[in-house]
Structure 1
Amino acid sequence: MRRTPARRPTMKDIARRAGVSESAVSFALNDRPGVSAATRDRVRRVAEQLGWQPSTAARALSGEGSATVGLVLARPASTLGVESFFLQVVSGVQEALSPRRLGLLFQVVEDLDAECATYRRWWAEHRVDGVLVVDPCRDDPRPELLDELGLPAVVIGSMTDDPAAEPTAHPGISNLWADDAAAMASIVGHLHDLGHRRIVHIAGLPELAHTRRRMRSLRAEAERRGLTEVDSVTTDYSDAQGAEATRRVLARDRPPTALVYDNDVMAVAGLAAAAERGLSVPADLSIVAWDDSVLCRSTHPSLTALVRDTAAFGRHAAERLIALLDGEQAVRVQDDVPRLAPRGSTAAPPG
């Protein structure tokens, strides 16, 4: 026997049950003037009894919102399937959105132009009420565009090369960032204390602001400690480029004794590339991963890595966006600095 789908309660149902007009129901549920306090309370009580919820489509058509926030990633799609960082961020975002019954619209695009085009389309279609923006970069066009559209946003990551400097004011954009420079300094300090003097940073995409901050911090720490054989090599974050960069630097006349990778996937690929050359970790080579994950803890040896609550980072970003949607002012908030967790992949360099 075919079941008839349950019918959603409507404003007409509420009006009939409450003994008022449909217009009175609309005024009451949308908190508009035109009905008494007693009528407003009665209508809301009946709506709750019937299990009525506002239609997202109707809210979008009326210009009152979509009950959805957006997240666009302009990253090579091949790097997202195995990298846990964004999955954990999204998990934290959902944790904050769910109690407010807000949905997350997620899209992967090929570049910044496509990302900006997505924002324009979402705005024109009333698809989202606000957006979370990742991977700030040099001459970033997105903050100005979001200002132009009047689309509330939270940028995740410092919007400037210098995290201590205030970015240009954007009235509808909050900024959540962690101190990448301090995190890199802790890594260099750990390796220096172990006795390493030749260190290579296998970095991510060179156009990203956080990549440049990490590279600059590496150079500054090296100079401060008198290290002259320290440099960075950029990649696309993939395991393939991470492994290739590892092979290339290990083939140098004076190869590094320590490698620092910008994500967990490249660090694990680098571990395998070192093994191909017959190198033992950590006896011959020390390895550090920027982001801790199950991958880092499952290798042998387990990888020294920067540890932070990535899901909480995502939750904090979503909470700042919800605050903007609730009418609060845009703010700039510094999150916790990742903490270095030494494990089996780092030790004193070979004598």
Structure 2
Amino acid sequence: MPAKRPTIADIARAAGVSTGAVSYALNNQRGVSENTRRRIHEIAATLGWVPNTAARVLSGGPAGAIGLVVDRPARVLGIEPYFMQLISGIQAALAGGPTSLLLQVTDNAPAQLAIYRRWWAERRVDGILLVDLLVDDPRVELVTDLGLPAVILGEPQADLGLSSVWTDDEKAMAFVVDYLTTLGHREIVRVAGPEEFVHTQRRTAAFLAATAGLPGARVLTAADYSDDAASRITRRLLTGQRAPTALVFDNDVMAVAAVGVATELGLDVPGRVSVVAWDDSALCRLVRPALTAVRRPTAERGAAAVTLLLHPGDGPSQVKTADPELRVRSSTGPA
């Protein structure tokens, strides 16, 4: 037979106080002394009492959760380290507190919007984190209309009226191009992620600005961030005319796949082609040759977004993380 769940009445009996006093103490309301409040919390912890979330929500209290929806096919998400780094930062900020993370994965935009509507109607979350901001993103209008607090993990856009936590990708891209051109590279190709993402467009704009005057510099857009997409593009580039001497990929999985294709074709990395990855991870360090990569403070972004969501200011805030760093390894060399 399952153990009986402790109640406020059980705590009151153990503490020798009324149930009202216990309620005041556990809800951090006035009506009891600090010593009594502390003693009641200690007894509650000893008994293993946890708040009844459903009852708290029905009475107008917080849901005790924040939501994150990742709109990526499961096959892609399962091999992409970026989101694990992000979630580790989110969980670090939530650790030891009363708020938990509610995570769902979808593979289409309408399903994502439906999840937000359901969470709002059922009062499942106190706010949400928005990732992969789209151009003219319908999520922004929806959460604004619903009055659902939200923080964007992405570049600040003041006209959206939402807080955001962002990293300076433009600066990182300019640094990558400067590094490659210093090595003598002129035929540089950026292999970008889906172009509907705001961060894709901003990185592309920064790349084109940094490579202005280099006739061999160009951008190719992949359908997704998968190894399959990167393999197809890399094979086409390295076997075609005007083969590039350097490739810059939008994530680590794509860059690892590119190294594999070059090896299959008998092309030396970095002797024949240099490869740079975005979002440094264990994959970049373990593959051979180890990948030169842009390291962004991804976990820091997740933690900062949680703090901003749970402790908002008087208006939208734009929080900038530490700048990215270029970790130079064995996959890049002179042209």
TM range (shorter): over 0.9
The residue aligned with 2:56 is 59
Letter of the 2:51 partner, please give it.
P
**Paired residues for 1:42-53 under 5 Å:** 42=36, 45-51=39-45, 52-53=49-50
1:309 aligns with 2:297: yes
1:295 Cα offset (Å): 1.1
> Alignment partner for residue 276 of structure 1, among 264, 277, 281?
264
> Which moves more between the two structures, 250-259 or 265-274?
250-259
Distance 2:261 2:179 in 1: 23
Contact 1:305 1:340 in 2 (8 A): yes
| 2:179 match: secondary structure | helix
The residue aligned with 2:174 is 185
> Alignment partner for residue 187 of structure 2, among 176, 198, 219?
198
Normalised TM-score (structure 2): 0.92
**Paired residues for 1:58-77 under 5 Å:** 58-77=55-74
1:339 aligns with 2:307: no
| 2:116 match: secondary structure | helix
Distance 1:45 1:55 in 2: 20
Provide structure 1 residue ranges, at least 5 long, that are not aligned to the other structure: 161-166
Letter of the 1:284 partner, please give it.
R
1:18 Cα offset (Å): 5.0
1:111 Cα offset (Å): 2.0
1:181 Cα offset (Å): 0.9
Compared with structure 1, are the counterparts of its residues 152 and 41 closer, same or farther at alpha carbon in structure 2 (3 Å cutoff)? farther
Distance 1:50 1:201 in 2: 57
**Paired residues for 1:99-248 under 5 Å:** 99-160=96-157, 167-170=158-161, 173-223=162-212, 226-235=213-222, 236-248=224-236
Q: Deviations over 1:31-66 (max 9, x none)?
A: 456x4x44x853662343132332222212223122
Distance 2:37 2:209 in 1: 64
The residue aligned with 2:242 is 254
Contact 1:14 1:43 in 2 (8 A): no
Letter of the 1:74 partner, please give it.
D
Distance 1:25 1:68 in 2: 24
Q: Percent identity?
A: 49
Compared with structure 1, are the counterparts of its residues 69 and 318 closer, same or farther at alpha carbon in structure 2 (3 Å cutoff)? same
1:306 Cα offset (Å): 0.7
| 1:48 match: secondary structure | helix
Distance 2:163 2:132 in 1: 14
Contact 2:74 2:105 in 1 (8 A): yes
1:101 Cα offset (Å): 3.0
1:141 Cα offset (Å): 1.6
Contact 2:300 2:321 in 1 (8 A): no
Distance 1:195 1:43 in 2: 68
Distance 1:189 1:43 in 2: 60
Normalised TM-score (structure 1): 0.88
Distance 2:227 2:24 in 1: 57
Contact 1:29 1:44 in 2 (8 A): no
| 2:101 match: secondary structure | strand
1:19 Cα offset (Å): 5.3
Distance 1:191 1:6 in 2: 64
Distance 1:222 1:311 in 2: 30
Distance 1:44 1:222 in 2: 62
1:252 Cα offset (Å): 2.6
Distance 1:273 1:230 in 2: 21
1:287 Cα offset (Å): 0.5
Contact 2:133 2:152 in 1 (8 A): yes
1:190 Cα offset (Å): 0.5
Distance 1:48 1:112 in 2: 46
> Alignment partner for residue 13 of structure 1, among 10, 13, 27?
10
Letter of the 2:209 partner, please give it.
A
RMSD: 2.0
Distance 1:342 1:16 in 2: 64
Distance 1:328 1:7 in 2: 44
Contact 1:63 1:126 in 2 (8 A): no
1:76 Cα offset (Å): 2.0
> Which moves more between the two structures, 99-108 or 280-289?
99-108
1:328 Cα offset (Å): 6.0
| 2:201 match: secondary structure | helix
Letter of the 1:153 partner, please give it.
A
Q: Deviations over 1:178-213 (max 9, x none)?
A: 111111111100100000001111111110001001
1:342 Cα offset (Å): 1.3
Distance 1:117 1:6 in 2: 37
